[in-house]
Chain A
């Protein structure tokens, strides 16, 4: 780890308003241009920073890790040859990240301009008008500021307070694991193999399917059964391997 990275990490990750802010910081620090940055360079810088922050046990929000994953993916893409056919409508993910960075930077700059206006206009005071005298008796509803949704919101708040506590119903499991195993044992006693769907029954509901699936996983683990699936979502075929399941 380089010395300046160490300094950089000491700049608390909490000081950043998210991964884009951090990226802009790293780019500016290295005096790179947002529009010509090289993805590998930026990715390395960013990942180093995150790794370092992790080592320092800093609390890193999920968004930072998502960006780390995105950059890693972009970087690994660079290593893969891109087929010509795909090239046609292939958009470099870096282009979209760059656009995003430029957009975010613009908002960041505008936000700091707003900050300046705020500090000027905070020092500006207005005569109170006749606010106090007329406000107590009638609360005037500013049509501009009130919407149907405000009413709905108020209603929702009230109904939430008065509503009875929600009911939770705990359902007894329909089939226990041992029941599933017993059924499978019976099914595979004459024919030694069966399709999953036949063993479970075609009209079985989700809970039953899951129970059987877990039972089968358990049996496979114990080596009493093998299960085969040729490709994702294909039929699962189960075969008895051991005679006695005990």
Chain B
């Protein structure tokens, strides 16, 4: 049996349409961070011990109640024909570059991938995986792109720190920072950065 606080938190997680952060839980229930965290843990234990079909997931900086992936094949039938297709390899590569190197200009992304990434970026914008983060204050003021919280949810990530191989990628990017800038400036010379 769950106590009153845990029940309140559970209700919030069920009714919210996006992940609920710890701060938000504290704000709405009037409890402290530590008790909120413990309440979430009690819900998790309760769900696990009762053999429920849902679990608490840590997504995009908050908590969310989601169905167990094992049951995906059953639930998917509810949404047949409505589900987005998987992202293409080009889109995934492009997304990976933006995720680790955000905010990034299109020229920087293309410098890393070595190919034109227009259509991949268009798909990612349409599917709300990336958004425009402003403009870089360099000649031509190219648009900057960053990932959205939708991106984190889509890949089941709690935050950007939890991207796969974060340390390795960071040191690799540091090693190649000059190369990327050089190639990007070569690229941006002959292309106008228009809004997609």
Contacts and interface: CB of A to CB of B under 8 A. Distances in A.
Interface of A: 17-20, 61, 63, 67, 96, 99-100, 102-104, 106-115, 117-131, 144-145, 147, 149-150, 153, 156
Given A17-B115, A111-B93, A123-B73, A149 B156 contact: no
Interface of B: 14-18, 57, 64-73, 75-76, 83, 86-87, 89-90, 92-93, 95-97, 100, 112-116, 128, 131-134, 143, 148-150, 153-157, 163-165, 168-169, 172-173, 175-176, 179, 183, 195
Given A96-B179, A127-B65, A117 B155 contact: yes
B168 to A, nearest CB: 7
A145 B131 contact: yes
A86 to B, nearest CB: 19
B92 A111 contact: yes
Contact of B132 (A61, A144, A149): A149
21 contacts: A17-B89, A17-B90, A18-B114, A63-B114, A99-B175, A100-B112, A100-B183, A103-B112, A104-B112, A108-B93, A110-B165, A112-B92, A113-B165, A114-B155, A115-B92, A117-B157, A118-B155, A122-B86, A125-B66, A145-B131, A147-B131
Kindly name the residue among B66, B73, B183 whose own CB sees the greatest number of chain A CB atoms within 10 A: B66
Contact of A126 (B66, B133, B179, B183): B66
Contacts of A115: 86-87, 89, 92
Question: 4 tightest A-B contacts by CB?
Answer: A123-B72, A18-B115, A129-B17, A111-B92
Contacts of A109: 165
A113 B15 CA distance: 31
B72, B113, B172 pick with most chain A CB within 10 angstroms: B113
A31 to B, nearest CB: 23
Contacts of B69: 120-121, 123-124
Contacts of B153: 121
